[in-house]
Amino acid sequence: MMAPCDRLWYLGQTHKGRQTNTEALSQPRQIHTQASVHPNVRGEEDSRCPKTSEPIRCDLTMAPTLTVGKTQLASLPVRAAQPRPPSAPCVRLPSPVQHLLSTKTKAVRPGASLVVHAQAAATAVQERTSQKTATPASLGYTMPGEFEKHAGCWMGWPDSPYLWRENAKPAQKEYTAIANAISQFEPVTMYANPESADDARAAFKDNPKVTVVELPICDGWTRDWGPSCIARDVDGKREVAGVHWDFDCYGGTIKKKLGQPTQVPDWSKDAVAGRTILEMNGLQVFEAPLHLEGGSIHSDGEGTLVCTEECLLHPSRNPHLGREGIEQVLKDYLGLKKIIWLWKGIAGDDAITNGHVDNFCCFARPGTVLLAWTDDQNDPQWERSNRAYDVLSTTTDAKGRKLEIIKIPCPPPLFRTYKEAEGVHPDHIKLGYCPRIPEERLPATYINHYVANGGVVMPSFGGPGLARATELDGLALEALQKAYPDRKVVAVKSRDVLLNAGNIHCITQQFPAAW
C-alpha cells in the first residue's frame, strides 16, 4: 500500500508521436512512440495535489513531462526507438525527476512504474512558479562558448524537394559526410521526419556514433530553429538548460505580410522542435520572448556576444523592441554582459537570413575572434570585412580585454548555376518556398564551421575547374589549424548545403556537457 501522501501520475496517450486526449488509466502500460521508449507511468483517478487540488498528470508528446495543473515540473528521458531485449539497459532519470519520486530511484528499466510523491510535487510547483518570472541570468545561467566541452551534436535530416535539389539526395550525402566527420570527435544525434527516418538510418547503419531520432521538422537548419543551451555551476557541478526562441523562419511572419519570400511557407514544426529537443534530453526550458535564430549570435562563454545589425535589427524580426530591448532580452536569457554589434554579415547572405553572424565572425576562444576576410577591394565583401575589423579592433570584451583578430580568407565569389537552380521541385515558388535564383551569389565562407571536442569540421568548395577555390580551401584549413592549435581540422565538401544559403555551422547545434 502506498502512503497517503503518495499519488500516481496520469498518462497522456500518444499515437504516432502526436498527443491525443489525456485520460486517467488504472493499469500500467509500457509507452512506445515512433521516437522513444519510456518507462510506464501508472494512473489513478482523481489524483490531486494536496495543497492546490490541481490534477496531477504526465503528458506524453514526443517527450513526456510531469505537470501539476498547468505547471511543468520536469521532463522524462527519451531514447531512440529500437527493438529492446528483455534485458534492456536502465534509463537514467534526470535529477528533477528523481526528486519527485516517492522512493530513491536514479534509473529504471523500460516497463517499470514511477510513483511520484505528492508533497514533493507541491514543493516543485511552488519553486517552478516562482521561477516563471526569473530569467536564466538571474538564476546564474550563461551561454557557453562553442569551444567548450560537448556532450554531443544535434543535426536535422534534410528531405524537402522544395528546398533541396534532386529530392535532397545530394544534400543528404553531404549531411552524412558532415555527421560522420563530427562523430570522429563526439556523438551525433540526427533528428529526422518519420517519413524519411529510414533513409537516415540507412545512411548511418555502419556508424554507431550517429543516432537517428524521429522528430517532425520542416528543414535541416538545426542551428537556427534549435535551442541555445545555457549552463551554470551549482555546488561545483555544471547544470545545462536551454533557451527556446520564438522561431518564425527568419522573420517570416512580417515578410509574409509584406509579400516577401520566406524560406518555407509553414514553419510550425520547426517552431516547436527546439523545445522538444530540450525535453527529450531532460533539460529545463526557458521560453524567450524574441524572434531569433541560433546562427545570428556567437558567444565567448564569458559574457560577450557578437551579432550583426543587419540581422537582429532587421524590420522583420523584432521591430517592437528596438536595439535596447533586444539587448536586454539577450542579456536576461544568455547571461551576457556585453554585445558587440557588427554592420553586416557575409556578402550573399542578405535575402533569407539577413546577415547571420555565424557566416562572418565567431569566437575561437575568449578574447579571440575569427573574421572572414578579403583583400579584393572590388568585392562587396571588402567593405563589410573592413568595417567589422574597425569595430572589433577598437572594442573590448566583457572582461575588458582587447580582442585578437584572426583573418580567415574568404573563398572566391561563388554563384548558383542554372542546373543547380532547376534541380529544385518546379512548384517550389508556387507553393510559397523561397526561389532559387541562377547566377545568384552564394554566402560562401569558412567561418561557418563546427567546433567539436578535439576537432573542427570546416566546409570546402574546390574541385575540378575550381582552382582558386581549391587553393583557398587549403589556405583556410591552414589558418583554422593555427587558430585551433589543439584540435584537428577536417574539411568536408558542402556545396549543396551552400546552395540553400548556409553551411556546416548552420546545420549543427552543440549540446554542452554537464558535470
Catalytic residue positions? Answer: 506
**Rounded Cα–Cα distance for residues 410 and 374 (Å):** 6
Alpha helical stretches, state H, 55-168: 95-98, 118-131
- Extract the C-alpha cell encoding 420: 543547380
According to DSSP, the residues that pair with 191 across neighbouring strands are 156, 213
11: cell is 498518462
H or E element: which one contains 201?
Answer: helix 197-203
d(CA 138, CA 184) in angstroms, rounded, equals 37
Hey, what's the cell of 41? 507511468
Distance from C-alpha of 242 to C-alpha of 108, rounded to nearest angstrom: 25
Alpha-carbon span 488 to 475, nearest angstrom: 15
The terminus-to-terminus CA distance of the chain in angstroms comes to 37
Please report where in the chains the cell 527568419 appears, as a residue. Answer: 250
CA-CA distance, 359 to 355, in Å (whole number)?
Answer: 8
Q: How far apart are CA 36 and CA 15, in angstroms?
A: 12
Q: Is there a contact between 461 and 496 (Cβ–Cβ < 8 Å)?
A: no
Q: Which three cell numbers stand for residue 381?
A: 565583401
Nearest to 295 by CA among 249, 352, 358: 358
Distance CA 369, CA 426 (A): 41
CB 153, CB 182: distance < 8 Å? yes
Buried b (16+ CB within 10 A) or exposed e, 232-264: beeeeeebbbbbbbebbbbbbebbbeeeeebbb
